[in-house]
Amino acid sequence: MRAVIDPAEQPLRGSIRVPSDKSISHRAVLFAALAHGRSVVRDALDAADVRSSIEAVRALGAAVDVSPGDCGLSLVIDGWGDRGPAAPPHPVDCGNSGTTARLLLGILGGYQVSVTLVGDRSLSGRPMRRVTEPLARMGARFDLSPQGTLPVTVHGGPLVGCNHELTVASAQVKTALLLAGLRATGTTTVREPAPSRDHTERMLPVFGAQVEREDSLTVRVQGLQILRPAEVAVPADPSSAAFLAVAAALVPGSEVVLRDVCLNPTRIAFLDVMRRMGVDLSIAPGPDAGGEPVGDVTVRGGAPLRPADVPPHEVPALIDEVPVLAVLACAAHGATRFRSVGELRVKESDRLDATVHALHAMGAQARVEDDDLVVVGPANLHGAEFSSRGDHRLAMAFAVAGLVASGPVSIDGFEAVAVSYPRFSEDLHALVRG
């Protein structure tokens, strides 16, 4: 599907709740499947990636009842608990969802089952050895493609707890190892070089697991734990909110309120960067939901922007927002540098190459230096045509750029937004209409 984004002719105005958080929705579904009994998940994200997790746990023996909710899906999940997952007669399709695939590697590694995981073309190009190699140290076995990608067959069995020193901060790898640790004998400890998203550490205790957090880099679990059922409410996704926040910041005179956003400190580094760049924004905290801090974010447009330096330790907490922050950097007076963002090369697409290509096509100055992304502004963006490369984050980032271009921006493959934000186009148009 091709989408054409026209320049905004008036400020963005309104109050909106973006879709529920994708990372939290995935974990709520997968942890409920592990639990012994019936769990309730309210306001789960209704998008392709989360549907992949729902269908995966169904295929593995969990019963899932799905109905519409106020802000997403209402789920009632009867987990497999003590009996463990059932090996289906066919591969489990993870769609485009790296979270589904990588977390299932950790979950399945501790059970006496052999299960094959497959995905779409994009997911089948993403690396899996970063998960399977530390899991193999615990006793799980895996058959991977020669490239170390899906399809992967998991041969689970008895596991032994290990100390894991990760070389790259990754919430997906950390979570897979902790979930395997719940089934292992002894203690499993994961230490990262920088803090990554901590939704797992926050949610596992809601399901009755004992989790010890030594500091912001180290987490451990004792083995042989069985999760108990729980009720989880999922707040709005800060990564989705980032696109509308940048849109509001770029269009002069805008004022947009983003309601019920998850304010987990490991997820809102993009707001810190926006503040450093001079964006006028404020946060009103609200009540917690599911162990997560929640609040409303108000962004006003038109403030003069300055460049920022984004250091490596900040990157894990904003890696998904780099493409749209690069669009924001086009309006700053000077060079903005995103340091050590090579991880963007192995997302749903090569986001590093795609971001530079798109900004060049629109007349901006952008370059890659080793693993750094450098954007030099201010740039007078003009209309262009390019592909989303099947990547939801790129499709939305390019659409935001189109609001402040001098002519229409045409994006092939815009349907990719359904992975995380199916109504993105409608919400963006609603804010433009005020």
β-strand partners of 412: 2, 387
Cα distance between residue 337 and residue 346, in whole Å:
20
Confidence of residue 411 (pLDDT cuts 50, 70, 90): very high
Reply yes or no on whether 215 is catalytic.
no
pLDDT of residue 254: 98
Segment 408-428 mean pLDDT: 94
Locate the domains of the chain by residue range: 2-20+236-432, 22-233
pLDDT value of residue 91? 98
Evaluate if residue 39 carries a pLDDT over 80. yes
pLDDT averaged over every residue in the chain: 96
pTM for this one? 0.89
Residue 38 corresponds to which tokens in the numbers above?
A: 């019936």
Q: How confident is the model at residue 216 (pLDDT cuts 50, 70, 90)?
A: confident
**Domain 2-20+236-432 identical in fold to domain 22-233:** yes
Alpha-helical segments (H) within 42-145 = 48-59, 98-108, 129-138
Percent of the chain with pLDDT over 70: 100
Q: Enumerate the β-bridge partners of residue 143.
A: 153
Whether the CB-CB separation of 416 and 392 falls below 8 Å is answered with yes
| pLDDT band (50, 70, 90) for residue 420 | confident
- Find out whether 21 and 29 touch, Cβ atoms under 8 Å: no
pLDDT at 346 over 90: no
CATH 3.40.50.720 for domain 22-233, yes or no, is: no
Distances (CA, A) of 234 to 100, 249, 292, 420: 17, 26, 9, 14
Bridge partners of 174, per DSSP, are none
Q: Measure the CA–CA gap between 337 and 339, rounded to whole angstroms.
A: 6
Which helix (H) or strand (E) covers residue 428, if one does?
A: helix 424-432
What pLDDT is stored for residue 348 in this prediction?
84
The answer to whether 31 touches 207, Cβ cutoff 8 Å, is yes
What are the Cα distances from residue 103, in Å, to 44, 74, 119, 361, 396?
A: 18, 22, 14, 37, 26
Strand, helix or coil at 219? strand
Would you state the CATH architecture of domain 2-20+236-432?
Answer: Alpha-beta prism (3.65)
Digit-coded pLDDT (tens) for 269-318: 999 999 999 999 999 999 988 789 999 999 999 999 999 999 998 998 89
Q: What is the mean pLDDT of residues 179-199?
A: 96
Kind and range of the H or E element at 242? Answer: helix 238-250
pLDDT in tens, 219-272: 999 999 999 999 999 999 999 999 999 999 999 999 999 999 999 999 999 999
Q: What pLDDT, in 10s, does the model give residues 366-401?
A: 999 999 999 999 999 999 999 999 999 999 999 999
User: Stretch 14-43: mean pLDDT, rounded?
Assistant: 97
- Distance (Å) of CA 102 to CA 123, 133, 197, 252, 382: 11, 12, 15, 41, 39
CA distance 340 to 351: 13
pLDDT (tens digit, 9 = 90+) per residue, 82-132?
899 999 999 999 999 999 999 999 999 999 999 999 999 989 999 999 999
For residues 131 and 153, what is the distance between their CA atoms, to the nearest angstrom? 13
Residue that the structure tokens 């054409």 belong to: 4
Phi, psi (degrees; rounded to nearest 5) at 3: -115, 140
- The pLDDT score that the predictor gives to residue 288 is 87
Catalytic residue among 198, 320, 391, 427: 320
